[in-house]
Structure 1
């Protein structure tokens, strides 16, 4: 049943990473309940399988496994091969892990120090450019590291991230500032082979690995509790909201966040593009000021 469900996910066009994670969850559950008829599996048996993960300290994985198992059981019920979903009974039965936020620098002066440190990075030049570019476009690290040249429209100054690589599974268009375009042109001048902006060290057929940017930040002296590659998004979100110059919806659109209000999301689907273009250039200019050590005044909203 689990294999059949994953095949269905594959036909629906789910991302390879999602399919890989689903198969891993199947392997986790299989030793305990994999040989049992799905219609006979009890909530206690499923809980026993999940507790194996929990005892190893993998609390988040245990919760994901329960959720994934629930989807399989619901599919079995829908296709008349089971009559109940034991995963539903286990809601609240597992330890809820404390939410961990991605570490980020939120003080302008500290951001300026980071940008100066990145400019002085002595490692691979492609890694330096990736770190320089990320604050300007504040994409998710996976969206940046797997980027391909076909996504960049230099003439229109737009980076179009395809739907299959975005978290929301929708095309995400990013307006490019003059600073971002300059970095991309510098990267293109390296004339690396292949389609990836940031190819791996040993083969141009793959992008850099997911740890490359965080390892580079550690080399610059920033710990995992101080700054992460994903933290550039929190930096941009915080400082753009604090400046008070831009509509919150424009900021949310630039971050490609899910719209909780579906009606509002449909209405604003094409909205705020002109404002986002202006905001992208303002943000890059602001980053340059921080990097150069200029005094940047923060607004006082109470006045």
Structure 2
């Protein structure tokens, strides 16, 4: 019959003195106290791991930091794991690894990983604006939080001050981005669920606002304003280029000479520069080709059609046209993006095929098969429409000398 171990007492442990050699004080059921020659006392749990032949030790910490009662609790927890055929040492290591991952997998870190995965499907400008919005509004408050520790209450508290200022559109976009990050964390196994799925409902929805634009009958007045405005020649060209091509401000400002196919008379914008990440071809009219001829002496030897004034190696700012239009007296009446709406309204009123208009605006056809089939055909069919639009712009500039026939004093004009 095996000898029964007498459980230890606090008094016995306190009185245990160091010896020349390490020795053991057993408490029973695998728990013992190891006393070293230097006087340190450490708890040891000896056990046989599941599916293993040899016994092993597991440390429970040092005495008196870990009391006798606490050591016994740890022993019982370990024995319960063993009863489930779980190695307590491996379980402890896995728990530590999980907690370490939680500390390292912060909201900001996961947001960066999410945006990197998203990058190929959006424009670089979108990537920059998304990161800047998170950096400004979200990271200062919860950037260092472990991704699986963020609650709906915490996220809402971060967004409330923004909503209080009336920036409901900013709140809407932030809610969308935060949720995409949380879904990404769930899909990559970093979080079990997304507790922020409904935070958008905690705020009023922003009023939908269309891009500020003018009516078609106001185009002649706009052309007179463009002609008389005290703006730089390149800025003037940019506004007319965007108007004629119906391109977005960022697409027009970032236009490269290598994108111009003079032989086919096309402006081919690569997918990475387009909002929907699809190549977009725009037929060039005599008027747009004339604008290019005016730009050749200025920038043909450079990369971009519209070089920046401060750094000609890069392109003009996408907001330059917008600011120029504002200074012309069109504040709250027209924005650069609204030139597209102006063109769309005019072309629709003239009875042009709505599919061709949508294609000209680079709006994605929901019917993927039809879109792929009609892409090349749409470019050919859009030529007469784009030529009519350019001629219409020219007619609206009655008594206004168009860009291609004007000699500008480029050195004295201001931005």
Residues 180-199 of structure 1: matches in 2 within 5 Å? 180-191=288-299, 194-199=302-307
Report deviation, 1:89.
2.3
List alignment gaps of at least 5 residues for structure 1: 294-303
**Local SS of the residue matching 1:160:** strand
Are 2:174 and 1:65 equivalent residues in the alignment?
yes
Report deviation, 1:231.
1.2
Contact 1:70 1:86 in 2 (8 A): no
Contact 1:240 1:251 in 2 (8 A): yes
Between 1:179-188 and 1:6-15, the stretch displaced more is 6-15
TM-score by length of 2: 0.65
List alignment gaps of at least 5 residues for structure 2: 1-104, 400-415
Separation in 2, partners of 1:219, 1:249: 35
Residues 149-298 of structure 1: matches in 2 within 5 Å? 149-191=257-299, 194-223=302-331, 225-244=332-351, 246-292=352-398
Separation in 2, partners of 1:90, 1:184: 49
1:129 to 237, 248, 252: 237
Residues 75-94 of structure 1: matches in 2 within 5 Å? 75-94=184-203
Where is the strand percentage greater, Structure 1 or Structure 2?
2
Separation in 2, partners of 1:131, 1:42: 47
- Alpha-carbon RMSD: 2.1
- Residue 112 to residue 213, structure 1, CA distance change in 2 (3 Å): same
Separation in 2, partners of 1:81, 1:136: 49
**Local SS of the residue matching 1:273:** helix
Q: How many residues align?
A: 291
TM-score by length of 1: 0.88
Separation in 2, partners of 1:22, 1:104: 26
Between 1:116-125 and 1:81-90, the stretch displaced more is 116-125
**Which structure carries more relative contact order (alpha carbon 8 Å, separation 6+)?**
1
Separation in 2, partners of 1:17, 1:117: 30
Report deviation, 1:185.
0.9
